[in-house]
Amino acid sequence: MDRSFSPPLSQAHFDDLLERLREAEETLDAIRHGEVDAVVVGGSSGQKVYTLENADRPYRVIIEQMREGAVTLSADGTILYCNERFADILGHARESLIGREVLHFVAPADTPVFAELMAHGPASGRSAELSLINADSVGVPVNFSVVDLDMGQDSARLLCGVVTDLTRSRQRSHELAAANARLAAEIDVRRRAEESLEVALDAAGMGGWDLDLAQGLIHGSKRFDEIFGREGTPGPWLVGELLARFLPEDRPAVQAGFEAARRVGSIEFELRIERLADGARRWIHVKGRVHRQQGRNGRLAGVVSDVTTRRMTEQQLRQAQKMEAIGQLTGGIAHDFNNLLMVIGGSMDMLEEHMPGDERSRRYFAAARQGVERGALLNRQLLAFSRRQDLRQEAVCIDDRVHSFQGLLERALGETITLQLVEPEARWLCTTDPHQLETAILNLAINARDAMPNGGTVSISTRRVVVDSERAQSVGAAAGNYVAVSIADTGEGMTPDVASKVFEPFFTTKAVGKGTGLGLSQVYGFVRQSDGFITIDSTPGQGTTMTLHFPLTDDPEQARAKDDAAVTLRGTGSVLVVEDDASVRDIAVRSLGDLGYTVFEASHAQSALDVVASGVGIDLVFSDVIMPGDIGGMELVQRLRRSHPAMALLLTSGYTGQAMADQPRPADVQLLAKPYTRATLSAAVDAALEKARARLRDPGKPGV
Amino acid sequence: MDHDSAPPANPPRYKLRLFITGSTPRSTAAIQNMRRICAEHLQGDYDLEVIDVYQHPDATRDYQIVATPTLVKVLPEPLRKIIGDLSDSERVLAGLNLAQEP
């Protein structure tokens, strides 16, 4: 062995060297055989990786396959490489693009954007949206992102770019924007429809509602909440919560209505609720229909309105119609009854002169006479109710009247009851019959007294009331200004049922024999005949207020009639009695004969005209108003007034109100109410003759 | 990084580092071959990391890597490098000192 070339080697060192050699050989071998595809080179600027032939093929494939355009640019924007997709976007062959400046394809407007993109920037890349002009000279919107490729200090600057065609996404956003606009327009139309529906419903006083059957929730409009009296808690109602608002006796009907709606598809009812806010009982009308959702009954929607006022008006109207019907009936009976009383009373007048003088006969006769008088009184009350009494209307200040008979009122009320007269704001005048007014107030005061067996207060007050057309319709009077006089007590009050009947004739809550049941009927008829109306405000246990309304007037001179004396006056002259009822005519003929007149008679108007035409010389024609035949009493006197202006005329009727409404009575012709006595007949005949004589003396002055 | 190892209480016997260059053909072949050898011979008793030298060029310095793919057996010692796509299983097993075992 040659020692000089062989320094001593440890076995380990040797093994290590051997291993290193093997590793180096293996490395060289692997490189030589192409078992590696990259080599790593260490240098001053760090480790660098050099890929060998074909090593970047997967990347090339990816780049060629992808749906984005890929491009490599030199620093001055020359295209060094581009993929097929990039060429597609521009519509040129790839071969014709390499070597050209990309700026050539940028839309002129976007060149500043592109220049900024090409300027040096951060290594992480940057992007911008711009338009490229394709082979067809059409602008293609793209997203152009570039990144600087660091090739080392000595290499030229390179930029890698990725180009995304935005045409489709732009198109999609346009479509989306258009769809959005359509949707917005639809929403707008729907909202407007909803708004106008709400306005329309509100104008109709209706609330809208929508019931979700599955959830049991009811969504209501603002008016809906108002109708049910819910304040301050917006949001849906639970079905149970709403049901609880109905009166307990009405709830089963509500439930039945909703049950039936599921089967028949619609709902409608008119029932009562207790309003949440103030506990007021109101009538509501509910109407709705089922929405069918996916084949099953999902929702009910509809409207609700408060119909309390309408129902009250209907009720008042029914009441008014009922009273009218009763009035007609009562008036008819009273008319016939009057004629009977006339016959009885008149016959008794005749009989009186032939009466035997014994005490017993006189007593029987007086009892019969009293019966006739009571019958006549009753009849007057019935006629008053049926609005067929002869009112003497004039301008009346109610307060002055009340003060003038305050003493009488206090005596009637007794010691346990305090009378309170409230001083009015002004002394209004109204048109009515003052005597009937006093009777009516006295009547009401006595009723008030009877309602307070243990004492209390009756207060009388007047005020001015303006009645609008809606209210006028419900009370059955004309719209306008009224003077209202209220008679209020602190008594036991009335139930609504009783209050609705108090004006009916013979309705009384008093013990048998204590009242005729005609007092309030008379008040009612009188007020109605004065073109007024009555309202009742009564609560059981709290008292009753009756308010009479009379038309307000400004004319203090509106007097129409005056009182007649009641003294039997004998007279002379010829009288023609026109009367269809033979008994009544007979009585009149005999009475007038007894008074000293020459009497002619006729059973109807035509025969009366014949008698007058025969030239017998009639001073006065005394005619019934209502008679069978073509000519009535009114027309008869009108004809005679024209043909014989000097003739005295007098009418009689048991039935005056209606007849007067039908045909105007000549101003100077008096009307004698049936039943009349010999005294009232003589006074009326005498007055009529006197008036005719006065007219004859002074033809220019019209009769009063 | 891959980490198909046993529970940490028992550190794996083999610590392996495979250096590759992205998805070049040899690199992808090496990854597949390495997975097969590990599954067949190491029974989960290993810690393998695949290092892309494109992403981490400086990582090659520690083990003086000159070409990819290269498998480095860090543990058990001695450190050993096997160059190539690891398609020669026998050579790989020899490098991992597993050749003698049946």
| Test the B interface: residue of A40, A44, A51, A61 with most B CBs within 10 Å | A40
Query: In B, which residues are within 8 Å of A51 by CB distance?
Result: 21, 24
A111: pLDDT strictly greater than 80 = yes
Using the beta-carbon criterion (under 8 Å), do B26 and A37 form an inter-chain contact? yes
How far is the first Cα of chain B from the last one, in angstroms, to the nearest whole number? 30
Using the beta-carbon criterion (under 8 Å), do B81 and A35 form an inter-chain contact? no
pLDDT in tens, A336-372: 888 888 888 888 888 877 878 788 888 888 898 888 8
> Is A635 in contact with A605 (CB distance < 8 Å)?
yes
B27 at A interface, C-beta within 8 A? yes
- A415 and A542 fall within a common domain: yes
A94-102 CB contacts, 8 Å cutoff, 24+ apart? A101/A76, A101/A77, A102/A71, A102/A73, A102/A77, A102/A78
In this structure, is residue A703 part of a structural domain?
no
- A371 and A400 fall within a common domain: no
Using the beta-carbon criterion (under 8 Å), do A57 and B83 form an inter-chain contact? no
Residues forming beta bridges with residue A649, ordered by sequence position: A621
Q: pLDDT > 70: what percent of chain A?
A: 89
In this structure, is residue A620 part of a structural domain?
yes
In this structure, is residue B77 part of a structural domain?
yes
Which DSSP helix (H) or strand (E) runs through A43?
strand A38-43
Which of A212, A208, A129 lies closest to A169 in space, CA to CA? Answer: A129
Residue with tokens 């029987």: A364
Q: How many domains does chain A have?
A: 6
Mean pLDDT value of segment A313-331: 81
Nearest to B57 among A19, A35, A47 (CB): A47
In this structure, is residue B24 part of a structural domain?
yes
Higher-pLDDT residue of A700, A89:
A89
Mean pLDDT value of segment A472-482: 84
Higher-pLDDT residue of B31, A655:
B31
- A258 and A340 fall within a common domain: no
Query: In B, which residues are within 8 Å of A56 by CB distance?
Result: 24
Cα angle A231, A237, A241; round to 5: 90
Using the beta-carbon criterion (under 8 Å), do B68 and A38 form an inter-chain contact? yes
Mean pLDDT value of segment A585-605: 87
- Tokens at A544, concatenated: 């009753």
pLDDT in tens, A134-187: 999 999 999 999 988 766 666 667 888 999 999 999 899 999 999 999 999 999
In this structure, is residue B62 part of a structural domain?
yes
Domain range for residue B46?
14-95
B21 at A interface, C-beta within 8 A? yes
Q: What is the pLDDT of residue A548?
A: 93
Rounded Cα–Cα distance for residues A588 and A655 (Å): 17
ipTM of the complex: 0.76
Higher-pLDDT residue of A656, A441:
A441
A107: pLDDT strictly greater than 60 = yes
| Test the B interface: residue of A36, A39, A150 with most B CBs within 10 Å | A36
In this structure, is residue B40 part of a structural domain?
yes
> Is A520 in contact with A384 (CB distance < 8 Å)?
no
A23 at B interface, C-beta within 8 A? yes
A295: pLDDT strictly greater than 80 = no
A 594-623 residues with CB below 8 A of B?
none
Q: What is the pLDDT of residue A659?
A: 46
CA-nearest residue of chain B to A20? B80
Query: In B, which residues are within 8 Å of A26 by CB distance?
Result: 82-83
Which of A515, A492, A495, A517 lies closest to A505 in space, CA to CA? Answer: A517
Q: What is the pLDDT of residue A553?
A: 87
In this structure, is residue A178 part of a structural domain?
no
> Is A434 in contact with A394 (CB distance < 8 Å)?
yes
Which of A180, A177, A176, A199 lies closest to A188 in space, CA to CA? Answer: A180
In this structure, is residue B65 part of a structural domain?
yes
Strands A574-578 and A620-624: parallel
In this structure, is residue A443 part of a structural domain?
yes
CATH number, domain with residue A642: 3.40.50.2300
- Tokens at A78, concatenated: 């020359």
Q: How many domains does chain B have?
A: 1
> Is B76 in contact with B95 (CB distance < 8 Å)?
no
- Tokens at A149, concatenated: 């490729």
- A434 and A533 fall within a common domain: yes
Query: In B, which residues are within 8 Å of A46 by CB distance?
Result: 57-58
- A617 and A673 fall within a common domain: yes
Residue with tokens 């009927």: A521
- A525 and A424 fall within a common domain: yes
Q: What is the pLDDT of residue A424?
A: 87
How far is the first Cα of chain A from the last one, in angstroms, to the nearest whole number? 183
A514: pLDDT strictly greater than 70 = no
Helices (H), A353-392: 359-385
pLDDT in tens, A43-91: 766 777 777 766 677 788 888 888 899 998 887 888 888 888 999 999 9
Strand ranges (DSSP E) for A380-468? 394-396, 417-421, 429-432, 456-467
Using the beta-carbon criterion (under 8 Å), do A37 and B53 form an inter-chain contact? no
A656: pLDDT strictly greater than 60 = no
pLDDT in tens, A435-468: 888 888 988 998 888 888 888 999 999 999 998 8
Q: What is the pLDDT of residue A124?
A: 65
A83-91 CB contacts, 8 Å cutoff, 24+ apart? A86/A163, A89/A132, A89/A134, A89/A140, A89/A142, A89/A163, A89/A165, A90/A132, A90/A134, A90/A135, A90/A140, A91/A134, A91/A135, A91/A136
A704: pLDDT strictly greater than 50 = no
Rounded Cα–Cα distance for residues A209 and A552 (Å): 46
CATH number, domain with residue A447: 3.30.565.10
Rounded Cα–Cα distance for residues A482 and A469 (Å): 13
Rounded Cα–Cα distance for residues A83 and A72 (Å): 9
In this structure, is residue A174 part of a structural domain?
no
- What number of C-beta contacts closer than 8 Å exist between A and B? 77
- Tokens at A585, concatenated: 């005519």
Q: What is the pLDDT of residue A252?
A: 93
A48 at B interface, C-beta within 8 A? yes
Give the lowest-confidence range in A245-249, A291-295, A420-424, A648-652.
A291-295
Mean pLDDT value of segment A296-301: 76
Which of A318, A581, A319, A546 lies closest to A445 in space, CA to CA? Answer: A546
Which of A526, A324, A317, A546 lies closest to A436 in space, CA to CA? Answer: A526
Nearest to B84 among A35, A40, A46 (CB): A35
- Tokens at A26, concatenated: 């293996």
A637-643 CB contacts, 8 Å cutoff, 24+ apart? A637/A665, A637/A666, A637/A669, A638/A666, A639/A609, A640/A609, A640/A612, A641/A666, A641/A669, A643/A612
Residues (pLDDT < 50) of chain B are: 1-7, 100-102
* pLDDT band, residue A33 (cuts 50/70/90): confident
A239: pLDDT strictly greater than 90 = no
Using the beta-carbon criterion (under 8 Å), do B24 and A39 form an inter-chain contact? no
CATH number, domain with residue B36: 3.40.30.10
- A23 and A73 fall within a common domain: no
Q: What is the pLDDT of residue A192?
A: 92
In this structure, is residue B75 part of a structural domain?
yes
- A418 and A546 fall within a common domain: yes
Domain range for residue A620?
574-697
Alpha-carbon distances of A335 from A327, A339, A340, A656, rounded to whole Å? 12, 7, 9, 10
B95 at A interface, C-beta within 8 A? no
In this structure, is residue A538 part of a structural domain?
yes
- Tokens at A79, concatenated: 């295209």
Kindly list the strands in the beta sheet with A126-133, ordered across the sheet, starting from the edge strand earlier in the chain.
Answer: A79-82, A69-74, A158-165, A139-149, A126-133
- A75 and A218 fall within a common domain: no
Q: What is the pLDDT of residue A515?
A: 63
- A279 and A252 fall within a common domain: yes
